[in-house]
């Protein structure tokens, strides 16, 4: 292995050399955003007068040793293809610009130095960069055609070339070339048969994985410091943050999640998980002394609370620990930005223990009632993001309750009547195990002196009316009741209980289950000390009437465990936030705002919502617009002049925007269906 630092210009200008992207490499997938950042860096270094340079990383390739003067030297790229392809596209854009302004000398220089091997006759070896088939096809199309926009299919090669071509002009043409000449990289040359490229590649890329958001943030914080200062900051802040943000049960780092929640608190906006580092860097561009003394100190302080949210056993108070455990088991992670602030208030004596416990129970009641009703979970992100800001210090708990009760539409706090109606027929037997255990555990242990661990291996869930009933059940029930118990209420909460003798009770008739005492082992309900079996001790048959009576007892207990806040619920604003699929006809209406993928955008215009959603989803997966039925329903074109009012989705593709609001709604719904994100668009009319 040989490693050298040199300019990218000298690397690409080698004669009779071909850079080969092997088929096992991932597809070229740099986005317009990444290309724009590179162009910005090139412009910046190219405009400096002091001959500064810009380092772009390493390129790793394999060569085959000695070559004769007549053959093309193939260099197989195993790391760095994204950068190499992007730079080649930029040189291609420069070449095309030079052709366009009829600067034949400059066009020939660029083409014959960086794009083709001039003195090679074989077509297969003519291009300096040999890409995989789809990318090569697009690259050759650009080289031989003047209108890349007319390429018949989606390609990142086309998109990024068009982006570069639009950026180049008379004022920056020379600056771009100068910037390219100042790009430095580390050339790592491996010799086939002597070096192990896979082992070296994994070593360079941390076993093949990209740096995590937390790693990038750590490097951003520490890299610019002197060695002594680095050690000091690491020991006093970052090491403690990393240690506190470790989920000990899973042995998993949650630093990225902690920073994401911290940024949510600060920005009142939830960062995309893959953009936490960029959001952090944008928020804290100045890393002065106050950054290290204030910001890192604050994150470290929050990390102490975060440690207990993800490791409840670290909380010394048993009552708080139990509620934290429930929050974690239900995976109500979206509440963490809110709970971090409330935890901090408790730690600083702003609120007492009783208030903190009540808040933890309120969070469970709110989210659990929503689960029972089947309301979308993505609405919770927006609710908890802003909830702490709605607290009135003089009326701490009530102000939180009032804020939650004010929510409407898909954000609402389900009331008792809604819960009773939904729970009556809800299949709770086939929900996720963690949710099922949570429901039965809390129902069983409410106000119990001795806590029953329902996850004990000897305790299992028992169907009172069995899934495969003994024939005697059919003799004891009329056909209608038998059918109702079998088809409608079998898996509902009223027909479920807990037992340490599930295997013994089996499919027997009710009275056999109640009184069973084989070998004096007291298997029957009448011997049970569980609350869930207390009503079953008192009755001698199981039918619809008894099921309804037991349901009333269970739902009453449910309301005691997960109460609806007892506060005044009359509010002025009755306009609801609704999912687009539930929204009224938009004709003659204007918006107050819309929320898409947790981003809230204030606008009165349906058009703005339409453009934003379509553009976001196109950027996410453009192929779906070209390969699904959207191709017919929402046609894309590269010829913007063929449209009355074109709206650009990219540098290449356009859609018609001259549509009435009803048409925009219909198209939005179809796109959301295709992308399977029907719950992600919420709006509120004025």
Q: Which helix (H) or strand (E) holds 253?
A: strand 252-253
Q: Which pLDDT score is estimated for 70?
A: 56
Residue at 112 is within a domain: yes
pLDDT band, residue 673 (cuts 50/70/90): confident
The domain boundary residue, chosen from 318, 342, 364: 364
SS3 content of the chain, % helix, strand, coil (to 5): 55, 10, 35
DSSP 528: -
Within a 13 Å sphere around the CA of 239, how many CA atoms are in the beta-carbon half? 7
Q: How confident is the prediction for the chain on average, in pLDDT? A: 88
CB atoms within 10 A of CB 153: 11
Judge whether 367 and 380 are in contact, CB under 8 Å.
yes
Distance, CA of 132 to CA of 526 (rounded, Å): 73
Q: Which helix (H) or strand (E) holds 368?
A: helix 353-373
Q: Which two tokens stand for residue 171?
A: 């004022």
pLDDT band, residue 627 (cuts 50/70/90): confident
Residues 306 and 277 in one domain: yes
The dihedral of CA 113, 114, 115, 117: what is its sign?
Answer: positive
Tokens 């018609």, residue?
656
Residue at 387 is within a domain: no
319: left (phi over 0), alpha (psi -120 to 50) or beta: alpha
Residues 669 and 636 in one domain: yes
Tokens 């690259």, residue?
139
Beta strands 183-191 and 54-63, pairing class: parallel
Say yes or no to pLDDT of 69 above 60.
Answer: no
The dihedral of CA 81, 84, 90, 94: what is its sign?
Answer: negative
% of the chain with per-residue pLDDT over 70: 93
Say yes or no to pLDDT of 575 above 70.
Answer: no
Range of the domain at 430: 420-561
Residues 298 and 218 in one domain: yes
Residues 464 and 487 in one domain: yes
Backbone dihedral angles phi then psi of residue 584, each to the nearest 5 degrees = -70, 165
pLDDT band, residue 451 (cuts 50/70/90): confident
The domain boundary residue, chosen from 149, 178, 204: 204
Lowest mean pLDDT among 201-215, 271-285, 603-617: 201-215
Tokens 């994100």, residue?
677
Residues 217 and 183 in one domain: no
pLDDT band, residue 502 (cuts 50/70/90): low
Judge whether 305 and 347 are in contact, CB under 8 Å.
yes
Residue 168 to residues 40, 92, 107, 383: CA-CA distances in angstroms? 12, 11, 14, 45
Distance, CA of 111 to CA of 103 (rounded, Å): 12
Q: Which two tokens stand for residue 235?
A: 């020991």
In our burial notation (b when 16+ CB lie closer than 10 A, e otherwise), range 380-415 reads: bbbbbbebbeebeeeebbebbbbbbbbbbbbbbbbe
The domain boundary residue, chosen from 348, 364, 380: 364
Alpha-carbon torsion, ordered 129, 132, 134, 140, to 10 deg: 20
Residues 173 and 26 in one domain: yes
Judge whether 94 and 173 are in contact, CB under 8 Å.
yes
Distance, CA of 129 to CA of 89 (rounded, Å): 10
Q: Which pLDDT score is estimated for 511?
A: 94
Residue 527 to residues 112, 444, 513, 582: CA-CA distances in angstroms? 92, 16, 11, 50
Distance, CA of 114 to CA of 94 (rounded, Å): 11
Residues 189 and 231 in one domain: no
% of the chain with per-residue pLDDT over 90: 59
Q: Which two tokens stand for residue 450?
A: 């001795």
- Report field, pTM of the whole predicted structure over 0.75: no
pLDDT band, residue 677 (cuts 50/70/90): confident
Provide CB contacts within 8 A for 49, sequence distance 6+. Answer: none
Say yes or no to pLDDT of 345 above 70.
Answer: yes
Residues 540 and 638 in one domain: no
Judge whether 378 and 680 are in contact, CB under 8 Å.
yes
Q: Which pLDDT score is estimated for 226?
A: 66
Bridge partners of residue 127, in order along the sequence? 116
Say yes or no to pLDDT of 648 above 50.
Answer: yes
Q: Which two tokens stand for residue 407?
A: 């929510």
Residues 17 and 89 in one domain: yes
Lowest mean pLDDT among 12-26, 56-70, 117-131, 406-420: 56-70
Residue at 351 is within a domain: yes
Tokens 């004096």, residue?
520
Number of structural domains in the chain: 4
pLDDT in tens, 166-224: 999 999 999 999 999 999 988 888 876 666 554 555 455 443 335 578 878 887 887 66
Judge whether 77 and 21 are in contact, CB under 8 Å.
yes
Q: Which pLDDT score is estimated for 568?
A: 62
Beta strands 129-130 and 17-20, pairing class: parallel
Q: Which pLDDT score is estimated for 445?
A: 92
pLDDT band, residue 379 (cuts 50/70/90): confident
Judge whether 650 and 159 are in contact, CB under 8 Å.
yes
Judge whether 22 and 197 are in contact, CB under 8 Å.
no
At what angle are helices 173-181 and 81-100 packed, to 10 degrees?
150
Distance, CA of 151 to CA of 142 (rounded, Å): 9
Three-class SS of residue 29?
A: coil
Alpha-carbon torsion, ordered 190, 196, 200, 203, to 10 deg: -170
Q: Which pLDDT score is estimated for 310?
A: 97
Residues 257 and 355 in one domain: yes
pLDDT in tens, 463-491: 999 999 999 999 999 999 999 999 999 99
Distance, CA of 620 to CA of 668 (rounded, Å): 15
Side-by-side strand order, sheet with 129-130: 2-7, 183-191, 54-63, 73-79, 17-20, 129-130
Residues 554 and 593 in one domain: no
Judge whether 416 and 503 are in contact, CB under 8 Å.
no
Beta strands 17-20 and 73-79, pairing class: parallel
Judge whether 656 and 647 are in contact, CB under 8 Å.
yes
Q: Which two tokens stand for residue 351?
A: 């609120």
Please measure the distance between the N-terminal and C-terminal CA atoms of the chain and give it in whole angstroms: 66
Q: Which pLDDT score is estimated for 449?
A: 79
Instruction: Encode 278-318 in three state secondary structure.
Output: HHHHHHCCCCCHHHHHHHHHHHHHHHHHHHHHHCHHHCCCH
Judge whether 190 and 200 are in contact, CB under 8 Å.
yes
Residue at 644 is within a domain: yes
pLDDT in tens, 532-557: 999 999 999 999 999 999 999 999 99
Residue 643 to residues 146, 151, 609, 634, 635: CA-CA distances in angstroms? 22, 18, 20, 13, 11
Q: Which two tokens stand for residue 517?
A: 């005492």
Q: Which two tokens stand for residue 295?
A: 């910001």
Tell me the average pLDDT across 603-626.
92
Residue at 567 is within a domain: no
pLDDT in tens, 402-431: 999 998 888 899 999 999 999 999 999 999
Distance, CA of 416 to CA of 400 (rounded, Å): 19
Residue 525 to residues 142, 386, 454, 569: CA-CA distances in angstroms? 79, 48, 16, 42
Say yes or no to pLDDT of 109 above 60.
Answer: yes
Residue at 434 is within a domain: yes
Residue at 491 is within a domain: yes
CB atoms within 10 A of CB 280: 23
pLDDT band, residue 389 (cuts 50/70/90): very high
DSSP string covering 150-219, please?
G-SS--HHHHHHHHHHHH--TTTHHHHHHHHHTEEEEEEEEETTTS-HHHHHHHHTTTTPPPPHHHHHHH
Residue 234 CB-density burial (10 A; 0-12 exposed, 13-18 middle, 19+ buried): middle
Residue at 391 is within a domain: no
Residues 181 and 150 in one domain: yes
């Amino acid at each position: 292995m040989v490693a050298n630092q040199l300019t990218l210009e000298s690397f690409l200008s080698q004669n009779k050399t071909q850079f080969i992207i092997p088929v096992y490499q991932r597809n070229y997938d740099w986005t317009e955003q990444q290309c724009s950042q590179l162009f910005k860096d090139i412009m910046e270094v190219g405009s400096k007068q002091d001959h500064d340079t810009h380092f772009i990383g390493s390129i790793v390739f394999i060569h085959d040793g000695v070559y004769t003067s007549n053959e093309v030297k193939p260099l197989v790229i195993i790391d760095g293809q994204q950068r190499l392809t992007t730079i080649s596209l930029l040189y291609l854009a420069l070449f095309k610009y030079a052709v366009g302004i009829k600067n034949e000398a400059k066009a020939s220089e660029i083409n014959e130095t960086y794009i083709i091997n001039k003195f090679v006759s074989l077509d297969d070896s003519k291009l300096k960069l040999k890409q995989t088939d789809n990318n090569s096809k697009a690259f050759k199309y650009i080289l031989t055609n003047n209108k890349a926009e007319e390429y018949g299919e989606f390609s990142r090669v086309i998109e990024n070339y068009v982006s570069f071509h639009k950026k180049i002009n008379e004022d920056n043409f020379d600056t771009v070339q100068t910037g390219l000449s100042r790009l430095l990289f580390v050339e790592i040359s491996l010799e086939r048969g002597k070096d192990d490229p896979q082992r070296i590649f994994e070593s360079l890329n941390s076993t093949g994985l990209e740096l995590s958001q937390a790693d990038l943030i750590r490097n951003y914080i520490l890299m610019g410091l002197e060695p002594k200062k680095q050690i000091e900051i690491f020991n006093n802040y970052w090491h403690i943050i990393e240690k506190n943000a470790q989920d000990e049960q899973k042995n998993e780092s949650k630093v990225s999640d902690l920073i994401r929640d911290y940024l949510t608190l600060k920005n009142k906006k939830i960062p995309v998980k893959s953009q936490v580092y960029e959001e952090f860097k944008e928020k804290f561009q100045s890393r002065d002394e106050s950054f290290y003394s204030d910001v890192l100190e604050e994150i470290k302080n929050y990390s102490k609370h975060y440690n207990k949210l993800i490791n409840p056993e670290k909380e010394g108070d048993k009552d708080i620990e139990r509620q934290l455990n429930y929050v974690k088991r239900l995976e109500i992670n979206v509440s963490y930005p809110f709970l971090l602030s409330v935890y901090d208030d408790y730690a600083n004596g702003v609120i007492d223990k009783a208030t903190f416990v009540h808040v933890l129970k309120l969070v469970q009641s709110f989210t659990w009632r929503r689960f029972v009703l089947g309301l979308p979970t993505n609405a919770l992100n927006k609710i908890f993001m802003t909830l702490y800001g709605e607290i009135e210090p003089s009326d701490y708990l009530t102000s939180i309750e009032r804020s939650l009760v004010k929510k409407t539409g898909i954000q609402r706090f389900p009331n008792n009547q809604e819960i009773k109606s939904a729970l009556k027929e809800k299949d709770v037997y086939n929900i996720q195990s963690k949710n099922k255990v949570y429901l039965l555990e809390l129902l069983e242990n409410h106000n119990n002196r001795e806590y029953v661990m329902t996850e004990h291996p000897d305790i299992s869930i028992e169907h009172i009316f069995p899934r495969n009933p003994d024939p005697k059940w059919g003799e004891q029930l009329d056909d209608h009741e038998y059918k109702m118990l079998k088809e409608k209420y079998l898996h509902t909460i009223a027909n479920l209980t807990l037992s340490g003798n599930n295997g013994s009770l089996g499919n027997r008739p009710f009275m056999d289950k109640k009184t069973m005492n084989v070998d004096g082992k007291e298997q029957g309900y009448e011997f049970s000390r569980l609350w869930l079996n207390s009503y079953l001790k008192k009755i001698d048959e199981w039918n619809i009437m008894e099921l309804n009576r037991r349901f009333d007892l269970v739902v009453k207990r449910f309301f005691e465990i997960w109460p609806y806040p007892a506060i005044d619920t009359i509010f002025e604003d009755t306009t609801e936030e609704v999912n687009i699929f539930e929204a009224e006809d938009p004709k003659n209406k204007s918006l107050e705002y819309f929320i898409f993928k947790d981003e809230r955008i204030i606008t009165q215009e349906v058009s703005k919502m339409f453009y934003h959603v379509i553009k976001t989803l196109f950027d996410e997966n453009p192929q779906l617009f070209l390969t699904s039925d959207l191709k017919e329903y929402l046609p894309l074109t590269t010829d913007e002049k063929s449209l009355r009012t074109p709206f650009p989705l990219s540098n290449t593709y356009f859609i018609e925007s001259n549509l009435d609001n009803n048409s925009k709604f219909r198209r939005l719904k179809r796109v959301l269906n295709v992308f399977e994100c029907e719950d992600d668009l919420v709006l509120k009319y004025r």
